[in-house]
Every structure is written in C-alpha cells, then in structure tokens.
Copies of this chain bind each other. A is one copy, B any other.
Amino acid sequence: MSESGGIATTPEPPYYAVIFTTLRTEGDDGYGETATRMVELARQQPGFLGVESARDGLGITVSYWDSLDAIAAWKQNTEHLTAQQRGRDQWYADYMLRVCKVERVYGKRKKEG
C-alpha cells in the first residue's frame, strides 16, 4: 500500500488518525489487490485527509480524517465491511486499530508530496 508514496499533507490540527497495525498470515489470498482497492476507496470518502503506509514484517497504515463521523462512515462502507471481514478471518494473524485525535504537529518538508 505504498502507492501513497510518502508523507501525507494534512491540515492544521485538530483532526483524526486511525493507526492500523497488522501482522499478516502467510500467502497473498487476494490481500494485495484488496489493500490497493481500499486505499483507492478511502480516498473517495468524505472527510478523508490522507494516508501513510509501510510494511516491514509489521505493517502500519495511518489514515487521516476530518472527524470521528467520517471514520465511522468509512468503517460502515459496504465494500470496506467485506474487506474487514476477510482481514479478520484470513489476512491478519494479529491487528490493532487505534482511533486518535491529532493534537500537535511538528515537521520538516523539503519536498512537496
């Protein structure tokens, strides 16, 4: 899911972050295709602000949203619900999803993403 390609450009806080940390099971089983599709679909949701993703054994995907309502609506998206079910049943050995309010930001941006 690195097609986001970099650091998300987000507005001034406060806004919300969903930190999704995962350990995969063996094999792909359609995971890669669905993961790409979910990022594409998330980008189309109201209130979506950006996404950052890395996998290195552990996978970490952080998505940014303008409100808790936007996160709740994305969680209930029909296609996303199907993916969540496959994630729980098939793709993830372990996962943890943390919903957070971003309060302060510090950064250095040499390049605009």
Contact = CB atoms under 8 A, between A and B. Distances in A.
A60 B60 contact: yes
A80 interface: no
- What is the count of identical protomers in the complex? 2
From A22, A62, A100, A111, name the one whose CB has the most chain B CB atoms within 10 angstroms.
A100
A67 B106 CA distance: 18
A38 interface: no
A95 B110 CA distance: 9
Contacts of A99: 102-105
Contact of A96 (B60, B95, B107): B107
Interface of A: 2, 4-8, 10, 13, 17, 19, 21-23, 52-60, 62, 88, 92-111, 113
